[in-house]
């Protein structure tokens, strides 16, 4: 079982536990999910599996249970390789008494015989703690954004007669031998081919990479079962996707024992010419296989299936098989992270428009400071408005699932048409910011999408990119109002009903943009775009130096007295409402403070800072069991109480706090 997880595909789930930091708002980032897995593998290679996810607090557990009333939805996502595990008789249920979620199932073909050895895919990153030929124990510790740590212990009971166990941590493969006699008898098989009915041409680079999202984006899979009484040997399976892919290399399996099974997946290397398709096009998927029985007789066959390849602008928001869909919004839009492939920061038109924005912003280095980044973001928004880019609203967009997909525009299409839906405008905004080194998110919620810019400090700048206006919504709003609207969007996120698309991270993982046709150098001019000079935008007038005014004596600020002492209190997650406890020892010398901090059950460290009047600011350097981080507190002293906000710059996390002197 490959336990590797794609970070961003889980963000919509992980943020259940962490919360989304809004622009100049706050969260805590301290949570651990414990996962215990028990597997019993039989001599046929199938496995009886039991998994329990234990959540850190009852409040977290209740929030998850409320947001995901169907536990299968969250279990499927937390079980990293659910897309490549052929489950039978799966049962998923919440356990209120343990604040946990439990899954039981049978896994078909969990161990397969390749190169004369039985092989179980444990997953890269796991450490084998113990193996004695009867069982093997593996440990995986994974950390995610927001301070989330997932600790997994996998305990596998092996079949009788196992010997020569080996584990390769680089590949994540656990292999072993079983001494047995060759089975001779009747040869009989059951072969089922399942395929994705639609393939997105925009994602042609994604389908060929089995590492993306734990192998979720296979195009076809073959379930080969030995239903006879004879051993089957030398099974070879190969695939071809019409004229858009050559025959795949043969996947080979040495042995399938009577009652055993193999589940084989197809990840095609698709030709770039598929990006020329403008609309859905039928295509034949061909599967061929061969195998031998115990006497050496060879059997072979070829099968053909029809699927559709969607046009370059068509996007299918869910690729889940019909039998797995639960009807939830998260399921109906499970492909949302793939929107990252539409963020084309290197496209000709995007680069040209980015140059105009940079000129309009005065040539600031957008990624160097928060102020310069905000200046660039404002210039981008204002230049869109000045050039007449408008918002258009399609019916039911991002609300109802349609199997035929929905049309998305690439940034070049929005620039050409000077119009786009909410998601089109968010993609354009993200593309231009990414082009100058600013990392971005695109957040999808029911009925809407908007971009978020990660400023150099780690703070988030959410922008209502539809604020540019249009016939359907009226005049444009100011950039300042677009920021307020973006902040409101984040504050109103509902657990289980949003996807966060971390563009930079997803593209690093392999969600690559398609190769689009090259455009002429003067494309934007042909499309009627005007830069600052042509728009007659006047530069900001130089301010005439004024004499320094006579200083007016200010009243001495009211002081808080000496605040030295031991403090106890809490911090609060503004989005989820989760609360944690913390203790401080503060020593004040003049305007300086120093001391110690303890985050209860999580970690501790030292603090230092200053106090001016009743205003206090200090930073803690915390060492926790999952790593080290800095946290900055800014607050006000009122009697024996200090309260205010805190931020964790490394992750962008932030929240509120209140502590009182004992």
Per mean pLDDT, which range of 407-416, 545-554, 621-630 is the poorest?
545-554
What's the pLDDT score for residue 552? 35
- For residue 309, pLDDT over 90 is answered with yes
Query: Mean pLDDT over all residues of the chain?
Result: 85
Average of per-residue pLDDT across 311-327 = 80
- Judge whether 103 and 75 are in contact, CB under 8 Å: yes
Using pLDDT thresholds of 50, 70 and 90, give the confidence band for residue 14: very low
Handedness of CA 444, 446, 450, 454 (dihedral sign): negative
Using pLDDT thresholds of 50, 70 and 90, give the confidence band for residue 573: low
- For residue 543, pLDDT over 70 is answered with no
Report in angstroms the alpha-carbon separations of 654 from 7, 53, 644: 21, 26, 11
- For residue 28, pLDDT over 60 is answered with no
Strand order across the beta sheet in which 448-454 lies: 460-462, 448-454, 439-445, 499-502
Using pLDDT thresholds of 50, 70 and 90, give the confidence band for residue 555: very low
To the question of pTM greater than 0.75 for the whole model, the response is no
What's the pLDDT score for residue 406? 80
- For residue 22, pLDDT over 50 is answered with no
Using pLDDT thresholds of 50, 70 and 90, give the confidence band for residue 629: confident
The DSSP bridge pattern shows strands 419-420 and 390-391 to be parallel
Using pLDDT thresholds of 50, 70 and 90, give the confidence band for residue 10: very low
DSSP conformation letters of 472-514: TTBSPPPHHHHHHHHHHHHHT--TTS-EEEEHHHHHHHT-PPP
Q: Pick 565-661's CATH classification: 1.20.1730.10, 3.20.19.10, 3.40.50.1980, 2.40.128.120.
A: 2.40.128.120
Using pLDDT thresholds of 50, 70 and 90, give the confidence band for residue 646: confident
Who's near 265: CB < 8 A, 6+ residues apart? 84, 210, 215, 218, 220, 221
What's the pLDDT score for residue 652? 61
- For residue 499, pLDDT over 80 is answered with yes
Using pLDDT thresholds of 50, 70 and 90, give the confidence band for residue 531: confident
What's the distance, CA 224 to chain centroid?
A: 32
What's the pLDDT score for residue 625? 53
Can you say whether residue 510 is alpha, beta or left, with left for phi > 0 and alpha for psi between -120 and 50 degrees?
A: left
Using pLDDT thresholds of 50, 70 and 90, give the confidence band for residue 148: confident
Residue with tokens 């990006």: 275
User: CB burial class (10 A; 0-12, 13-18, 19+) of residue 76?
Assistant: buried
What's the pLDDT score for residue 23? 30
The token pair that represents 128 in the structure block = 């084998």
Residue ranges per structural domain of the chain: 14-178, 189-312, 327-534, 565-661
Average of per-residue pLDDT across 11-16 = 36
pLDDT top residue among 356 and 561: 356
Per-residue pLDDT reduced to its tens digit, 208-267: 999 888 888 999 999 999 999 999 999 999 999 999 999 999 999 999 999 999 999 999
Average of per-residue pLDDT across 555-559 = 45
For the chain, how many helices (H) and strands (E)? 11, 35
Per-residue pLDDT reduced to its tens digit, 341-365: 999 999 999 999 999 999 898 888 8
What's the pLDDT score for residue 216? 87
What's the pLDDT score for residue 558? 52
Provide, rounded to the nearest whole percent, the portion of the chain with pLDDT above 70: 85
What's the pLDDT score for residue 623? 81
Cα separation of 388 and 417, whole Å? 10
Q: E strands along 189-245, which residues? A: 189-195, 198-200, 220-226, 232-241
pLDDT top residue among 287 and 365: 287
Query: What letter does residue 405 receive in the DSSP assignment?
Result: -
Report in angstroms the alpha-carbon separations of 153 from 12, 51, 73: 24, 10, 22
What's the pLDDT score for residue 214? 82
Average of per-residue pLDDT across 140-166 = 88
What's the pLDDT score for residue 541? 39
- For residue 203, pLDDT over 70 is answered with yes
Nearest to 656 by CA among 31, 25, 29: 25
Cα separation of 319 and 333, whole Å? 9
Per-residue pLDDT reduced to its tens digit, 36-51: 999 999 999 999 999 9
- For residue 580, pLDDT over 50 is answered with yes
Q: From the CB of residue 236, how many other CB atoms can be counted at a distance below 10 Å?
A: 16
Query: What letter does residue 374 receive in the DSSP assignment?
Result: H
Average of per-residue pLDDT across 550-575 = 65
- Judge whether 52 and 39 are in contact, CB under 8 Å: no
Q: What three-state secondary structure class fits 384?
A: helix
- For residue 150, pLDDT over 90 is answered with no
Q: Mind spelling out the 3-state secondary structure of 352-410?
A: HHHHHHHHHCCCCCCCCCHHHHHHHHHHHHHHHHHCCCEECCCCCCCCCCCCCCEECCC
Average of per-residue pLDDT across 53-61 = 87
Per mean pLDDT, which range of 60-74, 180-194, 301-315, 645-659 is the poorest?
645-659
Provide, rounded to the nearest whole percent, the portion of the chain with pLDDT above 90: 60
- Looking at CATH, the fold of the domain delimited by 189-312 is given as Immunoglobulin-like (2.60.40)
Cα separation of 461 and 459, whole Å? 7
What's the pLDDT score for residue 37? 96
pLDDT top residue among 662 and 574: 662
Q: What three-state secondary structure class fits 406?
A: strand
Cα separation of 251 and 266, whole Å? 9
Using pLDDT thresholds of 50, 70 and 90, give the confidence band for residue 627: low
pLDDT top residue among 77 and 610: 610
- For residue 4, pLDDT over 70 is answered with no
Average of per-residue pLDDT across 161-167 = 95
What's the pLDDT score for residue 607? 94
Q: Pick 327-534's CATH classification: 3.30.420, 3.10.620, 3.30.2390, 3.30.1360.
A: 3.10.620
């Amino acid at each position: 079982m490959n336990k590797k997880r794609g970070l961003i595909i889980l963000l919509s789930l992980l943020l259940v536990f962490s919360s989304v930091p809004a622009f100049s708002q706050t969260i805590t980032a301290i949570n651990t999910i414990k996962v215990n897995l028990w597997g019993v593998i039989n001599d046929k290679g199938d496995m009886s599996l039991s998994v329990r996810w234990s959540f850190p607090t009852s409040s977290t557990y209740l929030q998850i249970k409320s947001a995901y009333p169907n536990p299968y939805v969250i279990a499927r996502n937390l079980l990293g390789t659910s897309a490549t595990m052929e489950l039978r008789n799966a049962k998923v249920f919440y356990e209120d008494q343990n604040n946990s979620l439990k899954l039981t199932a049978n896994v078909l073909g969990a161990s397969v015989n390749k190169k004369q050895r039985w092989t179980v895919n444990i997953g890269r990153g796991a450490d084998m703690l113990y193996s004695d030929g009867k069982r093997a124990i593996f440990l995986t510790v994974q950390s995610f954004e927001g301070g989330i740590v997932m600790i997994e212990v996998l305990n596998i009971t092996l079949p009788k007669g196992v010997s020569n166990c080996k584990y390769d941590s680089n590949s994540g493969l656990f292999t072993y031998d079983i001494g047995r006699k060759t089975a001779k008898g009747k040869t009989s098989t059951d072969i089922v081919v399942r395929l994705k009915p639609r393939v997105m041409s925009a994602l042609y680079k994604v389908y060929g990479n089995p590492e993306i999202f734990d192998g979720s984006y296979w195009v076809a899979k073959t379930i080969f079962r030995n239903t006879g009484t004879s051993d089957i040997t030398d099974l070879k399976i190969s695939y071809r996707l019409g004229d858009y892919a050559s025959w795949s290399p043969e996947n080979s399996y040495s042995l399938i024992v009577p009652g055993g099974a193999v589940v084989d997946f197809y990840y095609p290397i698709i030709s770039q010419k598929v990006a020329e398709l403008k609309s859905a096009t039928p295509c034949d998927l061909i599967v061929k296989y061969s195998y031998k029985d115990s006497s050496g007789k060879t059997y072979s066959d070829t099968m053909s299936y029809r699927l559709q390849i969607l046009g370059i602008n068509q996007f299918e928001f869910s690729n889940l098989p019909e039998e797995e869909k639960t009807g939830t919004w998260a399921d109906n839009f499970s492909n949302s992270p793939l929107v990252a492939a539409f963020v084309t920061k290197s496209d000709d038109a995007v680069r040209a428009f980015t140059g105009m924005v940079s000129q309009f912003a005065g040539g600031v280095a957008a990624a160097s400071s928060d102020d310069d980044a905000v200046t660039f973001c404002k210039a981008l928004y204002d230049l869109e408005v000045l050039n007449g880019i408008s918002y258009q609203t399609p019916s039911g967009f991002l609300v109802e699932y349609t199997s035929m997909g929905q049309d998305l525009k690439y940034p070049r299409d929005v620039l050409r048409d000077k119009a786009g839906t909410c998601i089109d405008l968010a993609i354009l905004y993200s593309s231009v910011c990414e082009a100058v080194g600013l990392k971005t998110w695109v957040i999808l919620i029911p009925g809407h999408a908007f971009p978020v810019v990660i400023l150099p400090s780690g703070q988030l700048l959410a922008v209502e990119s539809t604020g540019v206006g249009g016939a359907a919504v009226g005049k444009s709003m100011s950039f300042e109002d677009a920021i307020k609207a973006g902040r409101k969007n984040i504050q109103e996120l509902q657990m289980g009903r949003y996807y966060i698309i971390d563009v930079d991270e997803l593209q690093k993982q392999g969600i690559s943009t398609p190769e689009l046709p090259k455009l002429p150098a003067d494309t934007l001019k042909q499309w009627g775009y005007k830069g600052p000079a042509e728009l007659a935008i006047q530069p900001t007038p130089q301010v005439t130096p004024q004499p320094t005014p006579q200083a007016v004596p200010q009243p001495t600020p009211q002081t808080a007295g000496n605040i030295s002492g031991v403090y106890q209190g809490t911090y609060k997650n503004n989005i989820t409402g989760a609360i944690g406890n913390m203790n401080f020892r503060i020593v004040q010398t003049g305007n300086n403070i120093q001391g110690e901090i303890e985050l209860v059950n999580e970690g501790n460290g030292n603090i230092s800072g200053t106090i001016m009047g009743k205003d206090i600011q200090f930073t803690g350097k915390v060492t926790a069991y999952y790593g080290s981080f800095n946290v900055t507190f800014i607050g006000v002293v009122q009697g024996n109480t200090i309260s205010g906000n805190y931020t964790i710059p490394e992750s962008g996390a932030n929240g509120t706090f209140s502590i009182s002197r004992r």
